[in-house]
Amino acid sequence: MSTQPLEDWNSDICDCFEDASTCCYGFWCCPCLASTVTVRSGENRCLPICDACCVVAFLVAKVPLIVPPSALSLRVAMRHKYGIKGSICRDLGVSCCCSWCSWCQMHRELKHRNKAPNVVTVEQPSVLQLQPAPGMMAAYPPKAAFVDYPGSSI
């Protein structure tokens, strides 16, 4: 069983100027960016609502839920899917301390992964041509004839 070496993230957590459109999008509408990342990751568009519930729980009930569950889980899933270096501890710190930057980094990574060329191998299908046997050619075209089946009345 061979394992591939782990890679680094395509961009650092604060590499906003590598793809300014992503960070501007994340700054003006972080929930929209988070929703885009979850959909591109194959998850439900409404998953980032869990992160918003953490903020509401703190504001309303003073319950300090500081771990954004969807940001953390998607970050860990993305690391494992693409073989990116890191640890759950680092993911936890990034998700808690700079959630917006985390969403932007994940978005940049997904954009980078989609730019990578997909190699598709297409094989030419085998063509099988059926031809009648040489002795069968005399019977073609078939002659029209009347066939009487037993039990049929004409």
Peptide bond into 31 cis (omega under 30): no
Task: Determine the pLDDT at residue 69.
Answer: 84
pLDDT of residue 80: 92
Tell me the domain boundaries of the chain: 20-114
pLDDT of res. 132:
63
pLDDT at 1: 46
- Positions of the chain with pLDDT lower than 50, given as ranges: 1-2
Exposure letters 90-118 (e unless 16+ CB within 10 A, then b):
ebbebbeeebebbbbbbbbbbeeeeeeee
CA distance 102 to 11: 11
pLDDT confidence of residue 83: 92
Instruction: Output the CA torsion sign for 138, 142, 144, 149.
Output: positive
